[in-house]
Structure 1
Amino acid sequence: MLEQLASDLWRLRLPVRFAPGHINSYLLRDGEGWLAVDCGKHDEATRQVWQGFLDSPQYGAGIQRIFLTHTHPDHSGSADWLAAQTGARVLLAEAEHRLMEDFWRGSATQPQALMAFFAEWGATELQQQAVLAFMSGFRAGNPSLTGPVQYVAPGEVLTVNGHAWHLQAGLGHTACNLLLHDRAGKRLITGDQVLPGIYPNVSVWHGLEGDPLGDYLGSLVSLAALDVEEAFPAHGDVFTDFAARCVQIRRHHDTRLRRLRRHLDEAGTAPVAALNDAVFGRAAEGPMFMLMAGQLYALLARLRAQGLAEQVTRESWRAVSTSEIS
């Protein structure tokens, strides 16, 4: 159902199977037509919702542009289909387009590379198979973009209906989650970077190593400084305490880091499997293994970047005392 949120802004809720059961696509008036922000999964249920809008009197002059905050399948899965139906061009960050093609879709050698990566982090063969099953679903749910594409970048201004939306970078959850900031109206369309009631997944992935949690936490500091009175998230309802939510998410990750470091201090050298229990309270198995394990790896990578932990063997980590840090 199309819901008007402001004179120039509407929300279309699209179905997903995971909580909270939807993704928000935002529709901005763009002349006599629309700019659509994110477009949902690559499935029949999503296409039916879009088709209802395309067939409605509100559709008007059509969707002229599709803006992808990032290329996780629940955001970009229907992008190619919707572009083909409407003739719209797709706007996204170049890094996200590369991520879609090189990582989410991948190459013929990706399964072997993925299994090798997770083996390096101590994953069992059964867990590696769960990763392959998960990635197969991501690949099927993220078709390549075959129509016109326009790259946009943080710092640029997107003019919609004569109104300026400033693009902000959100790091860590993905390569470049683009947020749209209406400075004049003090509004922010957040994508997945900051959500109410949900902590966005921040993971170390094959091909995207480094310190994503450090990037994410730093990004939250920058974003919290924006003048925002209304935040429009990809999941959940509009919220008004944006800066406070950024602080709350930072504290959540700080708590996890302290819990992990404390466990390493007490255990001496700890296997990765035990660290999952320590941080999340349960083992990471089955389809959720990749998501949970990736978050654990991000926590360990953050501690390593701070000089507080190191990998001892393929399967184990230990704390590094401050006296050992040169």
Structure 2
Amino acid sequence: MTQVTEHGGGVWSIRVPIPDNPLGHTLVHLLDTDRGPVLIDTGWDDAESWDTLVAGLDACGVSMTELHGMVITHHHPDHHGLSGKVREASGAWIAMHAADTEVVRRTREQTGGRWADYLVDRLAAAGAPAEHLAPLVTARDGGRLRTVPGLDAALPDRDITPGDLLDLPGRRLRAIWTPGHTPGHVCLHLEEEHPAALPGRGRLFSGDHLLPEISPHIGLYEDPADATGAADPLGDYLDSLERIGRLGVAEVLPAHQYAFTDSAARVRALLDHHEARLRDLLLLLAEPLTLWQITERMEWNRPWDRIPYGSKNIAVSEAEAHLRRLVKLGDVETVPGSDPLRYQAV
């Protein structure tokens, strides 16, 4: 496929590959400004990804050294991974919402052993069987989990303030805080007339918040130090979706797949999707179940026994985010005295 797409009005996208990932690529966007070109996200920290980004910039008529800044939609490595290398090569600043900057800072201070302890404890509390815990325990005890993804991620230079226009002379790019996929995810509203005069209010760089065919992962905001359970990522995401739906943008430029119009229809489809998942979860909880049993019984994109090991751990996090929403709504309660903890519909 074409590596670079020109979207008009001083906006391009570059398809930067993600190694060994079914998503295939991140759409890194390039925005021309009066002070120099700015990247929206950067791609995975990988040699092929770096070479593709450099070649893509060249195809846009831009040298790496000309970059003025980077605006990062969220901290995940397929978006923030190359930021440090870009900054070293160009001197460009990095901007991110403070909540995700805190995740980057916490991850940089993390150790593989502490992270492994957290995962083992969380999965055990969910009721995961011994055979699922065994590989993780073995790897932890053997000292094979010394690193955590994103351990060397660059610390941003600037905070993105929700509601504010970014300091990009010649452009009107407004930050919209859209937590859910991560605690500090932001969408970026380009408040300018669409270059093809499509009806609507400008264009939206949506990161992973709004994708044309994929429902983004909504799991817990992973923090080994937080045992309060106060966060409600799914509630955050649903509120953020409705906020984006009210913008009425002409076109969405997401970080994966392809650009699309009719954002309102896509927002409605995602709201309906999660509403259906919550309804199905309530039906499952007519009987008391552990988090692991709930996750096994939920509908995924393939049968449970065909889901890879690591993806099962991600599924547990997503199931818990949905479960936590129902608990906060008062529709589900924990079963007193159960160990591992069981949940049941009220």
TM-score, normalised by the number of residues in structure 1: 0.88
Identify the residue that residue 245 of structure 2 maps to in structure 1: 224
Supply the distance in 1 between the matched residues of 2:82 and 2:242 (Cα, whole angstroms): 32
Letter in 2 for 1:274: Q
**RMSD value over aligned CA atoms?**
2.6
Shifted more, 27-36 versus 244-253: the winner is 27-36
Q: Which of 91, 98, 105 is the equivalent residue of 1:94?
A: 98
**2:304 corresponds to 1:282:** yes
Letter in 2 for 1:119: A
Supply the distance in 2 between the matched residues of 1:66 and 1:27 (Cα, whole angstroms): 9
Identify the residue that residue 13 of structure 2 maps to in structure 1: 11
Identify the residue that residue 29 of structure 2 maps to in structure 1: 26
> Structure 1 residue 20: deviation in Å?
3.3
Identify the residue that residue 197 of structure 2 maps to in structure 1: none
Identify the residue that residue 128 of structure 2 maps to in structure 1: 123
**Secondary structure in 2 aligned to 1:194?**
coil
User: 1:299-324: per-residue Cα shift (whole Å, max 9, x none)?
Assistant: 11011111111233343533242xxx
Shifted more, 202-211 versus 83-92: the winner is 202-211
Identify the residue that residue 175 of structure 1 maps to in structure 2: 183
Supply the distance in 1 between the matched residues of 2:279 and 2:158 (Cα, whole angstroms): 42
Structure 1 pair 110–310 and aligned structure 2 pair: CA distance change class (3 A): same
Assess if the C-alpha contact under 8 Å between 2:73 and 2:186 holds in 1: yes
Supply the distance in 1 between the matched residues of 2:108 and 2:135 (Cα, whole angstroms): 15
**Secondary structure in 1 aligned to 2:304?**
coil
Identify the residue that residue 158 of structure 2 maps to in structure 1: 150
Identify the residue that residue 342 of structure 2 maps to in structure 1: 317
Supply the distance in 2 between the matched residues of 1:199 and 1:175 (Cα, whole angstroms): 17
> Structure 1 residue 161: deviation in Å?
4.1
**Secondary structure in 1 aligned to 2:52?**
helix
Structure 1 pair 197–82 and aligned structure 2 pair: CA distance change class (3 A): same
Identify the residue that residue 189 of structure 1 maps to in structure 2: 205
Identify the residue that residue 48 of structure 2 maps to in structure 1: 45
Letter in 2 for 1:145: A
Structure 1 pair 56–188 and aligned structure 2 pair: CA distance change class (3 A): closer
Supply the distance in 1 between the matched residues of 2:146 and 2:17 (Cα, whole angstroms): 17
Q: Which of 310, 315, 333 is the equivalent residue of 1:292?
A: 315
Structure 1 pair 10–262 and aligned structure 2 pair: CA distance change class (3 A): same
Assess if the C-alpha contact under 8 Å between 2:26 and 2:43 holds in 1: yes
Aligned residues: 318
Supply the distance in 2 between the matched residues of 1:206 and 1:35 (Cα, whole angstroms): 30
User: 1:70-92: per-residue Cα shift (whole Å, max 9, x none)?
Assistant: 00011111110111111111111
> Structure 1 residue 62: deviation in Å?
1.1
- Which consecutive unaligned segments of at least 5 residues does structure 2 have? 194-201
Supply the distance in 2 between the matched residues of 1:257 and 1:57 (Cα, whole angstroms): 45
User: 1:42-83: per-residue Cα shift (whole Å, max 9, x none)?
Assistant: 111101112324556711561110111000011111110111
Shifted more, 11-20 versus 239-248: the winner is 11-20
Identify the residue that residue 327 of structure 2 maps to in structure 1: 304
Supply the distance in 1 between the matched residues of 2:73 and 2:24 (Cα, whole angstroms): 19
Letter in 2 for 1:11: S
TM-score, normalised by the number of residues in structure 2: 0.83
Supply the distance in 2 between the matched residues of 1:48 and 1:55 (Cα, whole angstroms): 11
> Structure 1 residue 234: deviation in Å?
0.6
- Which consecutive unaligned segments of at least 5 residues does structure 1 have? 322-326
**Secondary structure in 1 aligned to 2:163?**
coil
> Any residues of structure 2 matched to 1:103-122 within 5 Å, and which?
103=107, 106-107=110-111, 109-122=114-127
> Any residues of structure 2 matched to 1:268-279 within 5 Å, and which?
268-279=287-298
**Secondary structure in 2 aligned to 1:195?**
coil
Assess if the C-alpha contact under 8 Å between 1:29 and 1:160 holds in 2: no
Supply the distance in 2 between the matched residues of 1:127 and 1:154 (Cα, whole angstroms): 41
Identify the residue that residue 324 of structure 1 maps to in structure 2: none
Q: Which of 72, 92, 96 is the equivalent residue of 2:76?
A: 72
